Amino acid sequence: MNNDNSNNDSFEKDLQEINENLKSNENIELTEGLKPENMAKKLETVPQFVPEDNTKKLKKSKKKYIISSLATAAAFVVAITSVMLIKPWEKEPVVKPETPPTENIQQQDYAEIEAMFAEYSENYKKYHNGRFNGGFNLFGSKAEDAVAENAVADSAATNAGSSSNASASSSTNGGYREYKGTGYGTDNEYGETNEQVKGVHEGDIIKNDGKYLYVVNASNTDWEGYYDAFEEHQGDSVVPELKYDCSISIIAPEADGSMDKIFKLNIEKPEDKSIYYMTVSEIYVAGDRLIALADCQKYADYEQFASNYSKHRGDYFCEKEYLTMAVCFDISNRAEPVESWRVYQTGTYSSSRLTGNQLVMISNYNVSLDEDEEILRENCIPKVSCDNAPMKRVDVDCIHIMEDIYNTSYVVVSTLNVEDKETLKTSTVLGAGTNIYCTTETLYATSTQYKYNSGIAEIFGTTSTDTHIYKFDIRNYDVKYVGKGSVKGHALNQFSIDEYNGYLRIATTTGNWGDALTNQLYVLSPDLTVAGEVSGIAPGETIKSVRFMGDTGYVVTFEQTDPLFVIDLSNPKKPEIKGELKIPGFSAYLHPVGDGLLLGVGVDGDENGQNGGLKVSLFDVSDPQNPKECDKITMGGSDSPYVNVNINSEAYNSHKALCWDEKNGTMYIPYHKSIVVISNDAHNYTGSTGILQVTVDKNAKKLMPGKDYVSGIGTSRDDYVEIVRVTYMNNVLFGFSHSGDIVSFDKTTQKQLYKVELS
């Protein structure tokens, strides 16, 4: 804390000194040659290098470097002049949103990309080694912008490189008994994953096909034992093995809520031992196919690791790779799944989609700039692999590097027909993908770029954000990069993005804090240029949820109250706010329920802000100019200073936590309740977990009294498990926890029926 305060005091002192100097120089008489009008004329005579066809050429001649240097020097003088004329201590600069044109695909070869990364690395090491550490650069620099943008790349991923041999894994029963129950029939009502776009399926940690449940088991990774083994065997030839669980359980529920564990599907490591850790992120079930998406970690050179680890705990020093794996199983016999295929691509798992038989897999592959140049050149190209084939570089024609992008993380997008792994196609863009929005034909990946503002704004230590939007055509089991657009600000999540009638809509927040915060909604044409926008939405607040429904967009912002904005998008070139509703708390998720009604799930509050409770709101948005909260249900919250009742829900962070029963108009919401009673300076804690049921009466525009399914009450989290997913089959409700436990409830009586521990 002392160091931080000291740095802040030093910064404030430097800032004050700079401003005083600028003020004292305000009336300096400029020489005739430095006056702005004459500098502008001089700049007109400086040749400017413009890339042909708006694509980035990686190789520049010495002449072009000289021209670029002259232009930079001239701009430097103008920047000084501008600082004195603008007087930043008197007013803040105004930055208008830009509408950059969509950039063309760049053609290059591997050598050019390698050279580009080598240059990135040189600049990164130069500036990263403390040249501007703890300070700021008055006029900014391209190299520093590159470092700033690189900071948002996926920090978990580092390099990818050498070949690996992946052998088909075998599946083992894991001790589960053979299923002999009657189970469910074929005509059941059952819960499915809550998804954004109809016909575009999303992976999750639990799937329900109406007869079986498929759940991702907790990894239970023994990292402590792994590192203890390094100490124990240091100096000998024993290579410790990391123990973990990379498996999926197939469960057959009975009508009474009991659950038979019929198979534990273990995903085996390749025989070459290069992959030492795998964890399942999400799964799909499509008929008799189960597809798992997993994050993998491997040693780039296992033999090197095995021979060197004892000298200096090679796990820390050995080069690693991060891979995303998709593996498909034939589950026509649920008691004996058989692996059909597996594919790999470099980078950590980001997201995926399943449209019909087409799997779309997205990863973020970060290229570490700290490596030696030889390793860097090898690792700077993303790679893919099918089954046991060696990893190979993505085709150079499928690698796209945009003009003025200084990011060392690729978004890697692959598609394949799940019936034929040989259809694997891959396309990459240099610029990490944060949020993914997908239709049956098009995929959009957004990348938030953080920059220190160059020039005067940098004096005040402010930053700005841009969201780059990468568009891919994913039709016909293929993936092709289409183009890029940019807007100001950053998007909250995938629901901030939507495509309708060829136009892309995206809501973003700009600014860092306080009055600098503002929000906007952009409408982009098919070529990703901005066609229209609504700006200045709720200054001083941030976006908490967004939902698009046809020609209308709904945006919720929050500071102390919850404004729900209704935005008319029927004219893409002139979107406008039609109505606004302010109520306490905010909705973290919006769900259309039909008949002009919108369900909001989020945090309760009062005039002072959040109060720790959960609130479900029913909004009547049939009249866009007069939206109303026609009903609500709350849980938790407290006005007493001695009792704190706090409700948290996974639904605040993930729409997949919610289960919507469309036929019966019912939403199931998992929650965790904590009650803290303060007395005599002591805090007494009680916690519980459960599922809140809320049913919508569309005719009356009311919410029926909610049912509460409680599982486990205790004085510590060891006494219960926190439910993070909900699903159902007929009259039985199921709650699933990250720890791998499933509980079942009777929908009618709310009684807990059974609990199964999968680990």
Domain boundaries, the chain: 1-86, 597-720
Burial (CB count within 10 angstroms: exposed 0-12, middle 13-18, buried 19+), residue 641: exposed
The three-state (H, E, C) secondary structure of 211-239, written as one string: CCEEEECCCCCCHHHHHHHHHHCCCCCCC
Collect all residues with Cβ–Cβ distance below 8 Å to 440 and sequence separation of at least 6. 197, 199, 200, 355, 356
Provide the CB-side half-sphere exposure for 171 (13 A, CA).
Answer: 24
DSSP-assigned beta bridge partners for residue 201: 354
- 336's tokens: 């004996």
| Contact criterion met (CB below 8 Å) for 619 and 654 | no
C-beta of residue 296 within 8 angstroms of C-beta of residue 323: yes
Radius of gyration of the chain (CA): 28
In 153-192, which positions are buried (b, 16+ CB within 10 angstroms) versus exposed (e)? bbeebbbbbbebebeebebeeeebeebeeeebeeeeebbb
- In b/e form, how buried is each residue of 586-609, taking b as 16+ CB within 10 angstroms? bbbbbbbbeebbbbbbbbbbeeee
Q: Helix, strand, coil shares of the chain as percentages rounded to 5?
A: 20, 40, 40
- In degrees rounded to 5, what are phi and psi of residue 220? 45, 45
Is the distance from CB of 250 to CB of 331 less than 8 angstroms?
A: yes
Cβ distance 328 to 342 under 8 Å? yes
Whether 488 and 520 have beta carbons less than 8 Å apart is answered as: yes
**CA 450/CA 489 separation, integer angstroms:** 9
- Name the β-bridge partners of 355: 358
Element (H, E) at 572: none
pLDDT score, position 168: 35
CB–CB of 182/260 below 8 Å?
no
3-class secondary-structure state, position 291: strand
pLDDT of residue 165: 34
Closest C-alpha to 108, from 52, 159, 50, 59: 59
Q: Is 722 helix (H, G, I), strand (E, B) or coil?
A: coil
Q: In the chain, count of helices (H) and strands (E)?
A: 9, 41
Q: In sequence order, what are the beta bridge partners of 83?
A: none
Sheet arrangement for strand 420-430: 348-355, 358-366, 409-417, 420-430, 399-400
Tell me the two tokens of residue 326: 């998709």
Residues of the chain with pLDDT under 50: 1-12, 14-15, 18-19, 21-107, 130-175, 177-182, 312-317, 453-462
Q: Reduce the secondary structure of 113-141 to three states and give it as a string.
A: HHHHHHHHHHHHHHHHCCCCCCCCCCCCC
**At which residue do the structure tokens 């995926």 appear?**
352
pTM of the model: 0.79
Those residues whose C-beta lies under 8 Å from the C-beta of residue 689, and which sit 6 or more positions away, are 670, 671, 672, 673, 710, 711, 712, 720, 721, 722, 723, 735, 737
- Beta-ladder partners of 393: 383
Residue 508 · residue 522 · CB < 8 Å = yes
